[in-house]
Amino acid sequence: MATANLNSFPVPETVVCPSCAGNITLHDPAGSEFCVCPHCHTYIKFRNDVPQAVKKASLPQTKPVVAIGAQIVLQGYTFKVIAFIEKREKGTEYYWREYMLYNYEKGYANLSEFDGHWNLFFGSNFLPDLKNVDQKTQSVKFQDVVYNKFHAYLCELTAFTGEFDWDLTQDSIFTHETIAPPFIMLKEVETDNRRYGTLFYRGEYQEPAALAAAFGIHESQMPERVGIGANQPTKAYGFWQWVLKYSLYALLALMGITLFFALRKPSKTIFEKTFPIVYEPVKGQFEFKPFMTPGFEVNDQSSFLDLEITSPIDNNWLEATIVLVNEQSNATWEVTQGIEYYNGVEDGERWTEGQTTAKVLLSEIPRGRYHLNVYTASGDPLRDQLAIRVTENGILWRNLLVCVLLLTIIPAIAWLMARNVEKKRWSNSDFSPYEE
């Protein structure tokens, strides 16, 4: 068992390799029960503190980035690197590397690297809550964070060097990986229940640049990153969250502005009257006698107007050309708007089509006195009424709708980008929630 609850690292001790008589430095002499001779790579067991050769250990294929015995500080803990291990998923050729880290207060931690992606793993000696992980079939929950199943595999030890407090050559561990970037949770299940049964380890993604600084080396000496790490926090996700936040602020600002103008420039009817209309066939078929309305005031410096025409037509149509005339400047705005309304009964069911009313929007109408010239036509010569209502200000819903749509475009794009990255991440998993 690794020595813990100390105030400083134990004094290293030197032992002699029983195979080659070379000196082996032990950094946790009281805790380490196995080690590998750095000279002849003999795997050694200490029986009653006497080193005994067990077998030859395979040499790791890659050189460790940080040497055994080096001290590094990670997440506020001072560690000594005491072992370097290479493992792979059984049945594959892909290796990953693990650096066993020893802290004199807590014991072992683990720094792993695969394809240039690094994770620092803590067990329950660092995170006591790991004894109470909420397990489900496809996920686990730890400290209110849900981790989703990403991978499951049988570990195979391929090479190792350094010192250990257990016989790692006897390990037969099935690992379940669940992720919640930047975290990853390992559930290690001993297939033979030899030592501990099931244990959880929580890993956190480590940026290579930060690790290089902790190792005291240049970032270029770190293994190159390939692809997206299982629990690598991505910029796309962070960007989406950033965009979402600021777009929501902008939407709130829109609502505030809308409320402000709804109170400051409320909707007001400035003209409303029902006019008799008279069919005048001498002017042409469908034509009615034109008329001019009394004047009315547009009060705001610049406002929009809603012109609404209503006539109780029935199974017929009516069309009005209305000219808004500014009585001071003679500026005009001419609109033509038709209404039609049809109804009937077919197969015992009543149907209707169209409406007896229609609206036209006029934008940026300056303050002043106005009247309307109205030219009416209708398919119903007996039609005798046309109601006109002019409303000033209110809420320009079309503007609000356009702005809301514009403000949702960038978050939508950012979300698609983030989703694309997540799809790429999960493409390495047999448990992807994204359909292929």
Partner 1 sequence: MIFHHMKSNMHTLFKIITALVCLFVVGYYGYAGYHGKAFWESSTVERNTAYTGKRIYTGYGNRFNHK
Question: What distance in Å separates the CA atoms of residue 38 and residue 40, rounded to the nearest whole number?
Answer: 6
Binds partner 1 (CB under 8 A): choice among 158, 396, 428, 431: 396
Nearest distance in Å: CB 251, partner 1? 9
Residue ranges in 275-294 that form contacts with partner 1 under rule CB under 8 A: 283-287, 290, 292
- Cα separation of 373 and 320, whole Å? 10
How far apart are CB 264 and partner 1 at their closest, in Å? 9
Q: Closer CB to partner 1, residue 54 or residue 396? A: 396
- Restricting to residues 47-76, which ones interact with partner 1 according to CB under 8 A? none
Task: Determine if 336 is a binding residue for partner 1 (CB under 8 A).
Answer: yes
The nearer residue to partner 1, 203 or 208, going by C-beta atoms, is: 208
In single-letter form, the type of residue at position 150 comes to: F
Please give the residues from 212 up to 251 whose contact with partner 1 meets the rule CB under 8 A: 219-220, 235, 239, 242-243, 246-247, 249-250
Is the CB of 45 or the CB of 289 nearer to partner 1?
Answer: 289
Which of 86, 125, 118, 124 lies closest to 103 in space, CA to CA? Answer: 125
Mask: binding to partner 1, 133-172, rule CB under 8 A, as x and -? Answer: ----------------------------------------
Residue 41: how many other CB atoms lie within 10 Å: 18
Q: Minimum distance from CB of 311 to partner 1 (Å)?
A: 14
State the nearest-atom distance from the C-beta of 397 to partner 1, in Å.
Answer: 10
Residue 178 has φ and ψ, to the nearest 5°, of -125, 150
- Within 8 A by CB and 6+ apart from 206, the residues are 74, 111, 118, 119, 120
Radius of gyration of the chain (CA): 40
Q: In the complex, what is the shortest distance from the CB of residue 316 to partner 1, in angstroms, rounded to a whole number? A: 11
Q: Closer to partner 1 at the Cβ: 387 or 400?
A: 400
Residues in contact with partner 1 by CB under 8 A are 219-220, 235, 239, 242-243, 246-247, 249-250, 253-254, 257-258, 260-261, 265, 283-287, 290, 292, 300, 302-304, 317, 319, 321, 323, 325, 330-338, 359-365, 373, 375, 377, 379, 393, 396, 398-400, 402-403, 406-407, 410, 414
